[in-house]
Structure 1
Amino acid sequence: MDNRVSTVLGRRLGGELQRLRVAASMTQREAAAALSATQTKVVKMESGWVPMRDPDIVALCALYGVGEPRAVTHLLELAKTDRERRKVKGWWNDTPTLATQVEYIAMEDAAVKVRQWQMAIIPGLFQTAEYTRAMGVADMSWDNIDRIEDVVAGRARRQTRLHGDTPLRIHAVIWEAAFRQLMGGPQVMSRQLEHLCQLADLPNVHIQVLPFWAGGHPCIGGPFNVLSFGEDEAVDVVHMDLPRSTMWVEDAAESQVFVDLFNQASRMSLAPYDSVQFIDSIAKEMSR
């Protein structure tokens, strides 16, 4: 991942330059010639994989016939913000065990709001250390079991975003199954549920339970996260963990589909107060 903290703005900028190129009926090879660069560089620029230099943006705008000064300025401002964001080196880069999660953690760190739909487990930002350890032991894929502690520490660092002067706003809709799955046994799970009830008191934390009796729901396909950012030009980004890969959706129209699905699931769920009472009742059952 090099020093990328968020590719959201980089991909937005690259996408805009690509649309301008297509509208001008230009090829990537012609764009590369105008920059005295390789076609590979243009491909990386349009995919948001590399920071963009102002002279390159100005040259491409001239090539594509973009004569409106405000349009050029808009692109230059996007590029500047993206370059500044990429310079940041987060704590997650120094933990090898978190390598597969680097981009998501970096995105989460840059986000101002996260909407999470979860079916089988408690979201990482809400997990107790005991619950995280129980998940790690159940994974059975570790070459070194001691690395579970890296994951536990990583979760704890991420959870600091829930507090402070500008805390991360999180709205989580969680299927009932996640609360009843005995991860680590009744005592571990009971403490986890009690912790959830405490977190629900935070003004930036919004937890809802989608109960079994709600029946069929629109999000049955699997869990996902929708991350929102502070920059006006940054679209919502959808993240999904698949068994062997990670999927990102960074198109405004496609992202809105997931937002709509999330909102439908939220409307079918218990209200926040009722959700806390529901979670508390399950915790008491487990602690008996």
Structure 2
Amino acid sequence: MTQTHAAKVLTGSTTKVAKMEGGWVPMRDPDIRALCELYGLSDPAAVGGLLELARVDRERRKAKGWWNEFPNLGDMQEYVALENAATSIRTWQLCLVPGLLQTPGYARALAMGNSTKGHPDRGETLVATRIARQRRLSEEPILDLWAVVHESALRHRVGGPAVMREQLKRLEEAAQQPNITIQILPFEAGEHLGMGGAFNIISFAEPGAMDVVYTETAFGQLWVEGGDEAAQHQELFEKIARDALAESESRSFIEALRGDVSNGGF
């Protein structure tokens, strides 16, 4: 069926259908029921699940989160809103410390090192949003974070030795929290399945809610919502985690690396 078929059933335009399919507008219950009938979906449990997802989505759209105070977030605003509603996040990082674990000095150095955003105001905005996001790790409802980080991310001299010492100390402390799992994939692991790029998997508590996979590129973002591709990312993450050091070994690795920075051998 085409968007024209759906538009006719909804007594609306194809533009309306396109906006609904793109997630740009909330879904109304009568529209959901009409589309289910059109597509031959009559199972009450399945229809009820869709109606509940739509209700949750409408509530989220009404929410006024702290991120609305930062209009400069741009495309990241959607990610931050999802992150704020999530119950758990799994992140695989090749070159950077995950944003939820960055220190202000590290975040500031990243902002100033980006030639397209190298302005003091932009840098301080990034630091402020990083700190605000990190509240989810210690305030109710507490977010579960599982981060697998490649050794290269810890050896990049972002901001210089002093900044990196502070950042590594932050990772040591974070790894002690019960809701945070940190694993390091060392250079010694050789070739690995995560070499294709970093990604985040965002999970929610609502029954039937789909996992969302987020990948950031140099000039934009890529999103995957549920389906086989999201399941493939989950499987990939688990395989990368199996190749990484165990939690206790990762903590020892970070501690030793921080010692190298302090002794000038970084």
Q: Same fold (TM over 0.5)?
A: yes
Counterpart-to-counterpart distance in 2, 1:89 and 1:124: 22
Per-residue Cα deviation, 1:51-84 (whole angstroms, up to 9, x for no partner): 1222222333344444444443333222222211
Checking the alignment, whether the CA contact within 8 Å between 1:237 and 1:248 is kept in structure 2 is: yes
SS of corresponding position for 2:194: coil
Alignment of 1:114-125 (within 5 A): 114-125=89-100
Aligned counterpart, 2:170? 195
Aligned counterpart, 1:60? 35
Checking the alignment, whether the CA contact within 8 Å between 2:193 and 2:240 is kept in structure 1 is: yes
Q: 1:249 Cα shift?
A: 1.0
Q: 1:169 Cα shift?
A: 0.5
1:57–1:284 CA distance, 2 compared to 1 (3 A):
same
Runs of 5+ unmatched residues, structure 1 = 1-25
Per-residue Cα deviation, 1:172-202 (whole angstroms, up to 9, x for no partner): 1100011111111111101110111001110
Matched, 1:87 2:62: yes
1:283–1:32 CA distance, 2 compared to 1 (3 A):
same
Aligned-residue RMSD, C-alpha: 1.6
Q: 1:101 Cα shift?
A: 0.8
* Residue of structure 1 aligned with 2:251, choices 276, 285, 288: 276
* Residue of structure 2 aligned with 1:260, choices 235, 240, 260: 235
Q: 1:231 Cα shift?
A: 1.1
* Residue of structure 1 aligned with 2:221, choices 246, 256, 267: 246
TM-score between the two structures when normalised by the length of structure 2: 0.93
Task: Count residues in correspondence.
Answer: 263
Counterpart-to-counterpart distance in 1, 2:118 and 2:255: 37
Mean CA deviation greater in 31-40 or 100-109: 31-40
Mean CA deviation greater in 117-126 or 97-106: 97-106
Checking the alignment, whether the CA contact within 8 Å between 1:93 and 1:99 is kept in structure 2 is: no
Alignment of 1:34-113 (within 5 A): 34-113=9-88
SS of corresponding position for 1:219: helix
TM-score between the two structures when normalised by the length of structure 1: 0.86
Checking the alignment, whether the CA contact within 8 Å between 2:210 and 2:226 is kept in structure 1 is: yes
Aligned counterpart, 1:135? 110
Runs of 5+ unmatched residues, structure 2 = none
Checking the alignment, whether the CA contact within 8 Å between 1:134 and 1:184 is kept in structure 2 is: yes
Per-residue Cα deviation, 1:73-105 (whole angstroms, up to 9, x for no partner): 333222222211211122112212211211111
SS of corresponding position for 1:84: helix
Aligned counterpart, 1:18? none
Aligned counterpart, 1:144? 119
Aligned counterpart, 2:205? 230
